[in-house]
Structure formats: C-alpha cells, structure tokens
Amino acid sequence: MQRIRSVDPKHAQGRTKELLATVEQAFGVVPNAARVMANSPAVLESFLALSTAMKGIAIGDKLHHQVKLASSESNACAYCTSILTAMGPAAGLTAAELLEGRSTQAKDVRANAALKFAKAVLESKGKVRDDDLRAVRQAGFGDTEIVEIVASLVVGHFTNFINNVAETALDIPEAPALVHCAACAA
C-alpha cells in the first residue's frame, strides 16, 4: 500500500496545479510518481527542471535512459524500472537495450563502457577508482559525458528514493524481474 499520498490534479491548487498541468502536457497523463512529488511543489519543480535540462545531453537520450535503468535496478525501484521500461521505446531503445541498461552490460562497446562506469559509480557511491575513469575515457567519453553519466544516475536516484519511500502504486504495467527478462531474451 502506498505510504505517501498522491495529489489529485483535479484538487490541486496554485503552483502545484500548474506543475501537474505541465506534466500532463508533456506526457498526456500525470504519472503517480509526479503526483507523489506534488506534495511539495519545490520537489516536483526541481525534478521537472532537472529532467528538462538533461534533454539534449552529449551522451544522448538512449544512454541517459539506460543509465537511469541501471540506477533503478540498483535501488530495486519497481516503479522507476517499470516506467522507464514502458517509456524506453520512445527514447529509441529496443527491448534488448532496455535489458542491457538494467543489467549494466551492453553489446555496443561504447555503451558497455558507460554502463560499467555507471555500475562502478553506484557500487562505490561515487568513489570510483582511477582505473574506472581511465576505462570510460578510453571508450571515448570526455569530462562532459562523464559528468552526464553521473548526473543521469542522480536523476535516477532522485526518483528511485522518493518512489521507494512512498511505495508508489504502479499505474503502468510492472516490468518483469531482471532474471525473468534475461531468460526471455535467451
């Protein structure tokens, strides 16, 4: 059962109402995660600003999405994993690439290096080894892209933690467990 209430856009007031309308314009619906964030207009506005600012980043939408999936899987956030999986095709990801993001292993050498670096950041809580930085740089990522990979993880953590604390009720189909996905892909 959800532990933090969802704000109903029909009953929202002031800035909260405006922000929820912005979400609806962008997505056609107001996901339950946004309704939970709407308990604090500052939180919802911060999330929207950060998400908007991350559009057009050098690592691209696909890798940004895969890195957020790595975060969701690492944090066991069923809501975020489910919504990112559902939105993946709109970001240009195939079912296999969605699985790659979740498992932090990609067939593409460059994407694989980025996902391995993301995994190292997650596992070390950001205190990566020099070898981790060297490996991602050798795959062609400069400082701009490295900072964007870390920021993509932060965006993931932002939503993962809120949804895990709230136990946000799914309003989208639940993504299958990673073990099940791997068996389906085989």
Q: Which spans in the chain are helix H?
A: 14-27, 32-37, 41-53, 60-74, 78-87, 95-103, 109-124, 130-138, 143-166, 178-185
pLDDT digits (tens, 9 = 90+) for 139-168: 999 999 999 999 999 999 999 999 999 999
Structural domain including 145 reads: 60-166+173-185
144 and 120 together in one domain: yes
92 and 32 together in one domain: no
Crossing angle of helices 14-27 and 41-53, in 10° steps, is 30
| Torsion angle of C-alpha atoms 108, 112, 114, 116, degrees rounded to 10 | 180
pLDDT digits (tens, 9 = 90+) for 56-112: 999 999 999 999 999 999 999 999 999 999 999 999 999 999 999 999 999 999 999
- We report the CATH number of the domain holding residue 139 as 1.20.1290.10
Q: Kindly report whether the global pTM for this prediction surpasses the value 0.95.
A: no
- The pLDDT score that the predictor gives to residue 179 is 74
What's the token pair of residue 54?
């991350």
* 20, 31 contact by CB (below 8 A): no
Mean of pLDDT over the chain: 95
- The pLDDT score that the predictor gives to residue 27 is 87
Q: For residues 123-144, give the mean pLDDT.
A: 98
Q: Considering the domain boundaries, does residue 152 fall inside one?
A: yes
Using the 8-state DSSP alphabet, how is residue 90 labeled? G
33 and 68 together in one domain: no
Burial (0-12, 13-18, 19+ Cβ within 10 Å), 1: exposed
Q: What does the alpha-carbon distance between residue 22 and residue 28 come to, in Å, rounded to a whole number?
A: 10
Q: What does the alpha-carbon distance between residue 176 and residue 108 come to, in Å, rounded to a whole number?
A: 23
Burial (0-12, 13-18, 19+ Cβ within 10 Å), 13: exposed
Q: What does the alpha-carbon distance between residue 60 and residue 38 come to, in Å, rounded to a whole number?
A: 28
- The pLDDT score that the predictor gives to residue 62 is 96
Using the 8-state DSSP alphabet, how is residue 31 labeled? -
User: How many independent structural domains does the chain possess?
Assistant: 2
124 and 161 together in one domain: yes
